[in-house]
Structure 1
Amino acid sequence: MNAIAQSEVSRETYLGLGGVEYVLFYFLVAVTLAVFAYGVYRRFSRYTEGDDDPFARVDGLLSRTVNAAKIVITNEKQFNRDLYGGLMHSFILWGFLTLLIATSIIAVEQYGTELLLGLTFWEGDFYLTYQFIVDAMGLLFVVGIGMALYRRYWVQNHRLWGRHTSNEDDIFIWTLFGLGIGGFLLEGFRIYISGMPSHEVVSFVGYGLAMAFDAVGLPTTGAVLEGGALNPDYAAVDQLGFNAETLHWLTWWSHSLLALFFIAWIPHAGKPFHMLSSFANVVTRDEKAGRRLPNVPSDLDATNAESIDDFTWKEILDQDACTKCGRCSSVCPAKASNRPLDPRDVILDLRKYREELEAGGEEKPIIADGGTSVINTETMESCMACMACMDACPVEIEHLQSFTRLNRQMTDQGDVAPSMQDVFQNVMQNGNTFGDSPRNRGDWSEGLEFDVPDAREETVDYLWYVGDFPSYDERNKQVARSLATILKEADVSFGILFDDEKYDGNDIRRVGEELLYVELAGHHVETWEDCEFDKIVCTDPHSYNTFKNEYPEVNFDEFADDPMMPFEYDEQWNEDGEIEVYHWTQAVEELVREGKLELSGTELDYTVTYHDPCHLGRYNDEYEAPRELIRATGCELDEMPRNRDNSFCCGGGGGGLWMDFEEEPKPSEERIREALEDTDNGPGVEKFVVACPMCMTMYEDGRKTGGYEDEIEIVDVAELIVEAIGAEEEANLEVAAD
């Protein structure tokens, strides 16, 4: 080899680069940074044109940024249910950030400490450590990209492909791959033409490539002198020859131009821009997203989604943060049931329409029946508001906020399904979704061996909100009687509101009927103000969520003077959380723990599985209370593969219980199949346990339509407890299977 070995423990940054090329490179750098800065400015200026977001998004910005950095650096969301994807993204992210920091270190050393202060630190031990870390993390980066290419093109993971898949996705991944491979090739050529100095062995990937070049006898010209300078006798025309110096020169410019292209491209395309927008999205996330929805103003002229300008800046940021990864699509029960909803497509459809408008495209309805709108009404009717999409999203997109905006627009336009219109009418006229008389609301308690107290007439510890289905649905009345018996056995004071109780409003709000929800909320808080109680206990997780997270958010003063509103309450209810709101399993588990309800744990010997209700689990992170109660009855709990935050929705949320879909299979049928086929005990599972009246209704239906009537029984946790304490007769229960 003719090259002269490099003696310093350092290296020449611009090895083999002539003066004109040096100037040209920095001209291109300046242009690239200008294009990048303009693109970022244009992107973020668009957010300022979005509507104001109702929730605080930048309060405690330092704390938000630190927490977001932790989420992003650890890749905790990417590891959720996908070890391969988590490792892949971690390798890419950590490698990319290391290479970015490494480049920044060179810039600081050359144009900061060395140029201004005459000091250099990029040598000796620091240089050796630097080179080792860069090679190690760069290798991880290439491995991560390789894993991504394997999953996308070889395995062809189904969730990575959809109608929004485009050349942009290919350019993004192959550009990163080119940068990673090009960097190592450049390093290998540099080490080889520098005489393979012994200290460069720390650059183990590059050194290994240099050894390979040496093994194949790659020719050199001796063009590089000691110290890294270009030999003046080396004519430019000689660079056209096939030798290491030529390959180094070509690789240097190819790598540099590809890097400059990528930087300039970042803010001008959706896929690469996620590197900035997704972090901003995590910083500005709402910790209660989904479990609480934005309130609507009392101004009747306010619009929801008549145009793209109605969307808030955070909802626009959500659109830009989407990476098309399809995690939301893969967990969506509506999509799994072949309903016309793909959460990813809704977000990306809105983004595409916005970009078309910005490019001079024609306006069209955001949501309507037919093919001329951005989103079809049937698409949004399919949403079950289960929040699985939000839980799975690695960049904290708040799908449900945008979906609710679309649903509210549908309601304003009168585009709601006739079955939902009937539900709205029932609630307006009778205060319940069944359309039954309010006077019959307490009839479920008839037949109990004790009287259920009236919370309007006496002081109680627990104000029990029974809910629509336990009050009017025959199957769920058994659950209500079971819970009443449990509370009686525990010797706690409780009472109900009888005909002053109305529907809680949770699901009609998610369907888009916001003003009716406000009416119901105002009625309840005004009624509660006249009662004496310590805690509110709910049978239904949907009621639990809306009382705990949403009623305290309503500004009742804004509506109190409205003659259409049936309340005069003008305060913020429970703003400081002084009134505790419980799901009944939490309250009863507490009673068991305190010894007020005896469950020895040896009474029942059923093998059961448990379904986590969305509004109790994903919405409010309560997974253990129902399980503790099931175990306390002596049952053997056999978990389904999809449990806790990965639970599969029953199909009843978001108005799904009141709509008719031609779907195959129904979510409830799929879930029962999972219980009987995918659990450890399989067909040995005797009872499918629920803790939600809507789940009870959906699974009783799924048991019949799916042909599982003889294979499994649907029971509520409360019914197990009543059986365990031997109080079935007191509760006047029928056989649950009937």
Structure 2
Amino acid sequence: MNVIAQSEVGRETYLGIGSVGYALFYLLVVITLAVFAYGLYQRFSRYTQGDDDPFDRLDDLPNRIVSSAKIVLSNEKQFNRDLYGGLMHSFILWGFLTLLIATTIIAVEQYGTNMLFGIVFWEGDFYLGYQFMVDAMGLLFVVGIGMALYRRYWVQNHRLWGRHTSNEDDIFIWTLFGLGVGGFLLEGFRIYITGMPDHEVVSFVGYGLAMLFGAIGVPTSEAAMSAEYSAVANLGFNAETLHWLSWWSHSLLALFFIAWIPYAKPFHMISSFANVVTRDEKAGKRLPNVPADLDATNAESIDDFTWKEILDQDACTKCGRCSSVCPAKASDRPLDPRNVILDLKKYREQLDAGGEEKPMIADGGTSVINTETMESCMACMACMDACPVEIEHLQSFTRLQRQMTDQGDIAPSMQDVFQNVMQNGNTFGDSPRNRGDWADELEFDVPDAREEEVDYLWYVGDFPSYDERNKQVARSLATILKEADVSFGILFDDEKYDGNDIRRVGEEFLYVELAGHHVETWEDCEFDKIVCTDPHSYNTFKNEYPEVDFEEFADDPMMPFDYEEFWNEDGEIEVYHWTQAVEELVETGALDLSGTELDYTVTYHDPCHLGRYNDEYEAPRELITATGCELDEMPRNRDNSFCCGGGGGGLWMDFEEEPKPSEERIREALEDTDNGPDVEKFVVACPMCMTMYEDGRKTGGYEDEIEIVDIAELVVEAIGAEEEAKIEATAD
């Protein structure tokens, strides 16, 4: 084998290319970078055409970048509920970044430090160390791509296929595969034709390939190689020709990929990181406020969407994680969160290319988004929790739902709810005077927080006030607070609906009217904390009322309040869900459950607005275990909890779905938990969940198999059992 032996610890970057090839390559580099820069300019100039975002997305930018780099580099979101996907993406990302850094070092050395100062990095110990890392991480890169190919084409993972799956997905994955494998082939041929220097053993993948080439007898050129050697002149089958072909194939593929990045799926490598940097930590749990200007539009056109919402569209990688956890999609409702985001993106790109304008949202098939699609959303935030690139689905969804409401394109059942709230202040349409009637069956009087100072101002909510089943929960909670000897009171007929769910259906101005009424009423009361029965109320009081600029609406004659400030802007007034407040009472000893032993096997359902919205998972569980019950968790629990179907107006809408989310959840409790057949009680901590699951128990045929109870009912039973035990002990 006649080759040019290489003894120095390093490598020749342009081995066998020649001066003509060198010049041609850099002409192509300039063209590639120009195409890349133009594409990037187009992308970012499009964001400037989007509407202003209501939230500050760039405050504390250094810390945002650091925290985002941690999220992205650790791949923590990719590992969420998907170990295979997390490993796959980690291998690809870490390998790609390592190879990119190596290429950058070579470029900086070639045209920076070496040219200007004669400083060379890519030799000696540095070369040996980094070359080993490049091979190791490059191998992980190829393995990761192989895992992706296996999942996409062999397993055909259902998440990866949909109406937006296209050729760009195939081109993207196969281009990456070609870059990884092609790079190792190029390295192998380089090592082989340079005499397999001993130091190149650190390039263990390339060295192994070189040994393979030798074993199968790949011939080399008879002529000694020189810096001006050109394989073009030798078209015979030999290692030098294969090296030349590999060099150009790898280079052209890399240049194509770089130029293609701003125009297709590879752009997510940039947009995803930008999306994580500009994320809102409270996204979903607080929605953007609507300007008081009645001429303001929500989603009449694609340009009504903010620059961040457009960035969300570009950041979507089509991974389908949002779709796979969406309870609406699981119930065959016409909502697929991924498709909504990508439908908006596709329409925007068609318009930018001169396409025809269409209504943004309407009935029938002529609009970008169908009204039934948005009516299907339960506002459970599962899609946002699952998204690895922090897409804020609910921001765009709410914009579309507000447009539906403006147009009057809402379900008749929801129109009835709006009418009930406007006329009577509650979703039932019942008289405000009856709001406190649930307390009549108690053996004690519930204080009026408008007339006396209390520690806890208890917001009871619509369902515990008017729904017969949930009235039992309200009485249970009142009994608990009385037993703990805490000072509490309610607003009686001055309490109205909190507005959370009608806001998520798009009725913003009615929500503001309700918020104004409540904060104005609270100003006339003396209390320390607000305690809510319903997680929906808890979320909106804690996260959304403080965001409302009531002064904007001060001059609006349609708003029946005079409040002109931000309420609780600095968080001085603490807002609790009742489980948090009672769990605190148990901890301090104000409520003694130490001797209780309820002999039940139960499972617990995390309400979306308490769990995913506000990260409260432990207080309800602490109370359940304090009663002595054995808690058997469902497979989908905590942040992976499956929605009951009642959020986002779902409680008031009729869907032809099979099975209902509530039925599926009860089935999970009975069949998928460890002690499924022994589970006696399905425990909830939300009045809406109580209503949905009582309905699901009947329609699903589970009435004789399981009982739906609220945690408050368990606690009251435990208190009663403890008192009975004390009486018996005294009698003995």
TM-score band by shorter chain is over 0.9
Aligned to 2:239: 244
Whether the aligned pair in 1 keeps the contact of 2:19 and 2:228 (CA below 8 Å) is no
Q: Does 1:36 align with 2:36?
A: yes
Which residue, out of 629, 634, 641, partners 1:640?
634
- What letter matches 1:294 in structure 2? P
TM-score, normalised via structure 2 length: 0.98
Give 1:458-477 correspondences, 5 Å limit: 458-477=452-471
Whether the aligned pair in 1 keeps the contact of 2:18 and 2:227 (CA below 8 Å) is no
Give 1:406-417 correspondences, 5 Å limit: 406-417=400-411
Q: Distance in 2 between matches of 1:398 and 1:260?
A: 33
Aligned to 1:366: 360
Q: Distance in 2 between matches of 1:373 and 1:171?
A: 30
Percent identity between the two aligned chains: 89
Moved over 2 A (4+): 222-225, 228-231, 234-237, 727-730
Give 1:164-183 correspondences, 5 Å limit: 164-183=164-183
- What letter matches 1:303 in structure 2? T
Q: Distance in 2 between matches of 1:230 and 1:206?
A: 24
Cα deviation, 1:41-86, whole Å, max 9, x if unaligned, reads 1100100110000000011111111111110000000000000000
Aligned to 2:305: 311
| 1:457 alignment partner, SS class | coil
- What letter matches 2:395 in structure 1? Q
Q: Distance in 1 between matches of 2:90 and 2:145?
A: 10
| 1:460 alignment partner, SS class | coil
Cα deviation, 1:384-408, whole Å, max 9, x if unaligned, reads 0000000000000000000000000
Aligned to 2:22: 22
The alpha carbon displacement at 1:5 in A equals 1.6
| 1:78 alignment partner, SS class | coil
Q: Distance in 2 between matches of 1:462 and 1:59?
A: 35
Whether the aligned pair in 2 keeps the contact of 1:223 and 1:245 (CA below 8 Å) is no
Q: Distance in 2 between matches of 1:386 and 1:355?
A: 29
Q: Distance in 1 between matches of 2:422 and 2:171?
A: 54
Q: Distance in 2 between matches of 1:413 and 1:709?
A: 41
Q: Distance in 2 between matches of 1:112 and 1:492?
A: 73
The RMSD of aligned alpha carbons is: 1.1
Aligned to 1:257: 252
Which residue, out of 313, 336, 339, partners 2:330?
336
The alpha carbon displacement at 1:235 in A equals 7.3
Q: Does 1:509 align with 2:503?
A: yes
- What letter matches 1:90 in structure 2? S
Give 1:232-311 correspondences, 5 Å limit: 236-238=232-234, 240-269=235-264, 271-311=265-305
Q: Distance in 2 between matches of 1:146 and 1:223?
A: 39
Q: Does 1:229 align with 2:223?
A: no
- What letter matches 1:425 in structure 2? Q
Give 1:343-354 correspondences, 5 Å limit: 343-354=337-348
- What letter matches 1:574 in structure 2? N
Give 1:137-148 correspondences, 5 Å limit: 137-148=137-148
Cα deviation, 1:539-591, whole Å, max 9, x if unaligned, reads 00000000000000000000122110010000000000000000000000000
Whether the aligned pair in 2 keeps the contact of 1:223 and 1:230 (CA below 8 Å) is no
The alpha carbon displacement at 1:602 in A equals 3.8
Q: Distance in 2 between matches of 1:152 and 1:235?
A: 38
Q: Distance in 2 between matches of 1:499 and 1:76?
A: 48
Q: Distance in 2 between matches of 1:666 and 1:235?
A: 68
| 1:446 alignment partner, SS class | helix
Whether the aligned pair in 1 keeps the contact of 2:2 and 2:224 (CA below 8 Å) is no
Aligned to 1:529: 523
Q: Distance in 1 between matches of 2:460 and 2:528?
A: 16
Which residue, out of 488, 506, 525, partners 1:494?
488
- Judged with a 3 Å threshold, the aligned counterparts in structure 2 of structure 1 residues 729 and 307 are, in CA distance, closer, same or farther, namely farther
- What letter matches 2:3 in structure 1? A
The alpha carbon displacement at 1:729 in A equals 11
- Judged with a 3 Å threshold, the aligned counterparts in structure 2 of structure 1 residues 223 and 337 are, in CA distance, closer, same or farther, namely farther
Q: Distance in 2 between matches of 1:668 and 1:424?
A: 25
The alpha carbon displacement at 1:121 in A equals 2.4
Whether the aligned pair in 2 keeps the contact of 1:194 and 1:224 (CA below 8 Å) is no
| 1:373 alignment partner, SS class | coil
Cα deviation, 1:271-320, whole Å, max 9, x if unaligned, reads 11100001000000000000000000010000000000100000000000
- Judged with a 3 Å threshold, the aligned counterparts in structure 2 of structure 1 residues 584 and 223 are, in CA distance, closer, same or farther, namely farther
Whether the aligned pair in 2 keeps the contact of 1:485 and 1:727 (CA below 8 Å) is no
The alpha carbon displacement at 1:236 in A equals 3.8
Give 1:543-582 correspondences, 5 Å limit: 543-582=537-576
| 1:726 alignment partner, SS class | helix
Give 1:202-221 correspondences, 5 Å limit: 202-221=202-221
Cα deviation, 1:430-454, whole Å, max 9, x if unaligned, reads 0000000000000000110100000
| 2:241 alignment partner, SS class | helix
- What letter matches 1:266 in structure 2? I
Q: Distance in 2 between matches of 1:657 and 1:638?
A: 27
- What letter matches 2:355 in structure 1? G
Aligned to 1:453: 447
Aligned to 2:149: 149
- Runs of 5+ consecutive residues of structure 2 not aligned to the other structure: 725-732
TM-score, normalised via structure 1 length: 0.97
- What letter matches 1:237 in structure 2? A
Whether the aligned pair in 2 keeps the contact of 1:333 and 1:648 (CA below 8 Å) is yes
Cα deviation, 1:103-143, whole Å, max 9, x if unaligned, reads 01111111111110112222111110111000000000000
Which shifted more, 116-125 or 503-512?
A: 116-125
Q: Distance in 1 between matches of 2:119 and 2:432?
A: 84
- What letter matches 2:321 in structure 1? R
* Number of aligned residues: 724
- What letter matches 1:80 in structure 2? N
- What letter matches 2:309 in structure 1? E
Q: Does 1:594 align with 2:592?
A: no
Q: Distance in 1 between matches of 2:443 and 2:722?
A: 11
Q: Distance in 1 between matches of 2:48 and 2:704?
A: 59
- Judged with a 3 Å threshold, the aligned counterparts in structure 2 of structure 1 residues 224 and 380 are, in CA distance, closer, same or farther, namely farther
Cα deviation, 1:471-513, whole Å, max 9, x if unaligned, reads 0000000000000000000000000000000000000000000
Aligned to 1:735: none
- Judged with a 3 Å threshold, the aligned counterparts in structure 2 of structure 1 residues 223 and 614 are, in CA distance, closer, same or farther, namely farther
- Judged with a 3 Å threshold, the aligned counterparts in structure 2 of structure 1 residues 121 and 457 are, in CA distance, closer, same or farther, namely same
The alpha carbon displacement at 1:237 in A equals 3.0
Q: Distance in 1 between matches of 2:467 and 2:177?
A: 59
The alpha carbon displacement at 1:670 in A equals 0.2
Q: Distance in 2 between matches of 1:188 and 1:300?
A: 68
The alpha carbon displacement at 1:627 in A equals 0.1
Cα deviation, 1:139-195, whole Å, max 9, x if unaligned, reads 000000000000000000001000000000000000000000000000000000000
- Judged with a 3 Å threshold, the aligned counterparts in structure 2 of structure 1 residues 468 and 235 are, in CA distance, closer, same or farther, namely closer
Aligned to 2:600: 606
Aligned to 1:376: 370
Aligned to 2:669: 675
Which residue, out of 702, 715, 720, partners 2:714?
720
Q: Distance in 2 between matches of 1:182 and 1:441?
A: 73
Q: Distance in 2 between matches of 1:186 and 1:224?
A: 20
Q: Distance in 2 between matches of 1:729 and 1:648?
A: 36
Whether the aligned pair in 2 keeps the contact of 1:469 and 1:694 (CA below 8 Å) is yes
Q: Distance in 1 between matches of 2:329 and 2:310?
A: 24
Whether the aligned pair in 1 keeps the contact of 2:682 and 2:708 (CA below 8 Å) is yes
- Runs of 5+ consecutive residues of structure 1 not aligned to the other structure: 731-738
Whether the aligned pair in 2 keeps the contact of 1:16 and 1:224 (CA below 8 Å) is no
The alpha carbon displacement at 1:366 in A equals 0.3
Aligned to 1:733: none
- Judged with a 3 Å threshold, the aligned counterparts in structure 2 of structure 1 residues 330 and 224 are, in CA distance, closer, same or farther, namely farther
Aligned to 1:583: 577
The alpha carbon displacement at 1:32 in A equals 0.2
| 2:576 alignment partner, SS class | strand
Q: Distance in 2 between matches of 1:355 and 1:293?
A: 26
Q: Distance in 2 between matches of 1:536 and 1:560?
A: 25
Whether the aligned pair in 1 keeps the contact of 2:6 and 2:195 (CA below 8 Å) is yes
- What letter matches 1:133 in structure 2? M
